[in-house]
Amino acid sequence: MPEIIVSFFQKHAEYLLDLFLMILFSAAIFAAFFLFRKKISELSIRLVKKFLKRFPLAISIAEGFQKPLSALMVCIGVYWACTRIGKFFWPETTAYFSFLNAGIRISIIIAITWGLFAAAKPVTLTLLGDREEHDKTLLLFFSKIIQGVLLIISGAIIIRETGYDITGVVTGIGLGGLTFALAAQDSASNLFGGMVIIFDKPFAVDDWIETPDLEGIVTDITLRSTRIRTFKDAEIIIPNSTLANVSIINWSRMSKRRVHFTVGLTYQTPQEKLVEAVKAIRKILASHPDEVVQGSSLVTFDSFGAYSLNIEVYYFTSGTSWTVYMQTKEQINLEIQSRLAEIGVEFAYPTQTIFQEKQD
């Protein structure tokens, strides 16, 4: 048995050596591309940005290609390794090499699409220029249109690379267009609703809105639907056709927020103390700068309640966010409580006095 093995290796020594070197070389090629993929992609992007530093749009596109280029390096390593193996085992098999060539071309197409897909948002931002914050909605809208067009084009090219006739596919889509249009009436209405929201701008991404059915923060607007994050942290997806036909309160566009409440004092409060309390609350509101309390405020002795003398307090806060609004209310409420305690008046609470007539 050992003699047979020795004889086999002696007879095929040259072939086995070539096979070993081929496998070693192929593995080395793949390992080199895999290990240095990030370095190669980072260096390539850095060089491109250096030469195109005067063109912000080109730089935005280049930055989106770092990850796709890194993945493409791995694909090129696999391609070269498999090509080397194919030349050793099947040097005359054209189908194998045609398959590899089609695979690397598809990989390049996917990498280009991936890079342009990632660059869609920064490119759209560059094209829109410096705009106000509400244009974030337009940014998302146009970037998704660009991404959709890229997917359609790359899909058509990949189908062609696989050997299918793209004209046949287009013809099939055309024949089924009527059926699709009939089945997609709701989608079409949502699309037009999305266009209304985008261009009429009743709200934008990050706005706090309220409809007859819900209230929350807008997180995303697509061609079909709008995503709203409620204050209970639940995400609700609403068709655009629904939002385009309901009344919407956009709380984010308030220039100020109203505060309205009643301070009730006991009926045992003397009139001079009541007048002093009203003046004290007016002074507290007037002492705050416009950045906290905006415009004129109103403090009046309003009515005789069931169990209290009611002082009506009415003012506006400059901060419209919920956090700033609540912090301002808290600060002013504490100041009112402290000042009224100094004056010596008491807050009323629900009480009932019963008079019993004494019988002879």
* DSSP class per residue in 36-78: THHHHHHHHHHHHHHHTTT-HHHHHHHHTTHHHHHHHHHHHHH
Looking up tokens 């990632």, which residue turns up?
118
Helix and strand element counts for the chain (H, E): 14, 8
What's the CATH number of domain 194-252, 2.30.30.60, 3.40.50.1360, 3.40.50.300, 3.40.50.720?
2.30.30.60
Q: Please count the CA atoms within 13 angstroms of the CA of 69 that sit on its side-chain side.
A: 18
Q: pLDDT band at 44, cuts 50/70/90?
A: confident
| Annotation: CATH topology of 255-343 | Alpha-Beta Plaits (3.30.70)
- What is the tens place of the pLDDT at every residue in 333-359? 999 999 999 999 999 888 777 777 777
- What is the tens place of the pLDDT at every residue in 256-278? 888 999 999 999 999 999 999 99
The residue that leads in pLDDT, 320 or 299, is 299
Please list the residue range(s) of the chain that carry CATH number 2.30.30.60. Answer: 194-252
pLDDT at 272: 93
Following DSSP, what letter does each residue of 200-216 receive, concatenated?
H-S--TT-EEE-SS-EE
Q: Note the pTM of the prediction, 2 decimals.
A: 0.47
- What is the tens place of the pLDDT at every residue in 86-114? 777 776 667 777 888 888 888 888 888 88
pLDDT of 183 > 80? The answer is no
C-alpha separations of 220 from 131, 139, 275 in Å: 19, 11, 52
Following DSSP, what letter does each residue of 82-128 receive, concatenated?
HHHHHHHH-TT-HHHHHHHHHHHHHHHHHHHHHHHHHTHHHHHHHHH
C-alpha separations of 282 from 97, 294, 300, 301 in Å: 87, 14, 9, 12
Among 49-58, 123-132, 179-188, the range scoring the smallest mean pLDDT is 179-188
Q: How far apart are CA 56 and CA 124, in angstroms?
A: 12
Q: What is the mean pLDDT of the chain?
A: 78
Cα dihedral 170/173/178/179 (nearest 10): 170
pLDDT at 53: 72
**Strand partners for 300:** 312
Across the range 42-63, mean pLDDT stands at 76
Question: What Rg, from alpha-carbon coordinates, does the chain have?
Answer: 37
Tokens of 9: 């290796």
Please list the residue range(s) of the chain that carry CATH number 3.30.70.100. Answer: 255-343
Across the range 224-244, mean pLDDT stands at 87
pLDDT at 178: 45
